[in-house]
């Protein structure tokens, strides 16, 4: 008994345990998503997050301890973002042909994301710091945090809103775009990348490689546009 406690207190502090937990939780979630026929609601990221949160809650492990182990997975986001250059390069002829639709869709999506988020939240009585934290929610996390700070938001709250935007975008996109009978993978991928950054891009790659490539471009371009537009638009909602 005592040995088990000692073993646990050792393992609970080691990166190995939480790194393994992260991979196992994701493997289970991905398997479950497959069993559910890749239904939109059976999102593997969401399921893995809930599963791990339960384990942390049951073992009363603080997030900081968990992240000691999980940081190795988190770290790979950087090289994975750089790796998006390859599908972009592979799809070069398609990208060149779609330059005008992409730029138009980028402005439409980026403006809609910022204005409707601020408008709806303000109509529901949200103001000040909390409202400002919502403005850059569709941009990829590092950009959104920087923008939030610059316009008087709360970066921690923005981080939460950004992740939730990604997960909701990944869940909403497929049923909504199927209902609208949009079959152009370029348009579908690009739109989810603009509106719901990397998490939607990850989702797009699972469905179609062209959609994934265009989603990556949408994410990259909206990172830049949100940084430029959000501070200007946010002023109108102060």
Partner 1 sequence: MTSAAQPRIWIAFRAEIGTDPHMIRAISILLLFQLAGESLSRGLDLFVPGPVIGLAALFIALLIFPKLAEVIRVAANGLLAHLSLLFVPAGVGVIAHLGTFGTNGIGLIVALIVSTALAILAAVLTFVLFARLMGQRHE
Binding positions for partner 1, 111-150, rule CB under 8 A: 111-113, 116-117, 120-121, 124-126, 130, 134, 137-138, 140-143, 146-147
Is 196 a residue that touches partner 1 (CB under 8 A)?
A: yes
* Residue 128 host element (H or E): helix 128-134
Q: Which is nearer to partner 1, 12 or 172 (CB)?
A: 172
The stretch near partner 1 (CB under 8 A) out of 5-13, 34-42, 50-58 is: 50-58
* Binding track, positions 61-90, relative to partner 1; x by CB under 8 A: --x--xx--xx-xx-xxxxxxxxxxxxxxx
Task: Select the residue interacting with partner 1 from 17, 132, 151, 195 (CB under 8 A).
Answer: 195
Strands (E), 170-234: none
Q: How far is the CB of 32 from partner 1 (least distance, A)?
A: 13
Name which of 52, 53, 23, 29 is nearest 41 in CA terms. 29
Q: How many residues bind partner 1 (CB under 8 A)?
A: 113
DSSP 39-87: -TTS-HHHHHHHHHHHHHHHTT--HHHHHHHHHHHHHTHHHHHHHTHHH
* Residue 196 host element (H or E): helix 185-207
- Distance CA(70)–CA(235), nearest Å, equals 38
Q: Is 117 helix (H, G, I), strand (E, B) or coil?
A: helix
Asked if 215 and 190 count as a contact pair (C-beta separation under 8 A), the reply is yes
The stretch near partner 1 (CB under 8 A) out of 2-10, 34-42, 105-113 is: 105-113
Task: Select the residue interacting with partner 1 from 24, 28, 40, 49 (CB under 8 A).
Answer: 49
Q: How far is the CB of 73 from partner 1 (least distance, A)?
A: 5
């Amino acid at each position: 008994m005592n040995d088990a406690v000692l073993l646990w207190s050792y393992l609970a502090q080691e990166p190995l345990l939480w790194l393994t937990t992260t991979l196992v939780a994701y493997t289970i979630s991905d398997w479950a998503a497959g069993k559910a026929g890749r239904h939109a609601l059976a999102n593997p990221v969401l399921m893995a997050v809930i599963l791990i949160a339960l384990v942390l809650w049951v073992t009363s492990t603080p997030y900081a301890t968990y992240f000691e182990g999980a940081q190795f997975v988190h770290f790979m986001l950087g090289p994975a973002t750089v790796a998006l250059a390859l599908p972009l390069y592979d799809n070069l002829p398609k990208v060149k042909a779609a330059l005008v639709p992409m730029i138009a869709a980028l402005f439409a999506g980026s403006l809609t994301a910022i204005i409707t988020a601020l408008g709806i939240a303000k109509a529901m009585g949200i103001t000040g710091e909390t409202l400002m934290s919502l403005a850059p929610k569709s941009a990829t996390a590092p950009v959104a945090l920087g923008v939030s700070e610059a316009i008087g938001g709360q970066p921690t709250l923005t981080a939460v809103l950004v992740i939730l935007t990604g997960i909701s975008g990944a869940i909403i996109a497929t049923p909504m775009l199927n209902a609208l009978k949009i079959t152009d993978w370029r348009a579908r991928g690009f739109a989810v990348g603009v509106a719901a950054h990397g998490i939607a891009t990850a989702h797009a790659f699972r469905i179609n490689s062209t959609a994934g490539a265009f989603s990556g471009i949408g994410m990259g371009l909206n990172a830049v546009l949100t940084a430029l537009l959000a501070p200007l638009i946010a002023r109108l909602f102060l």
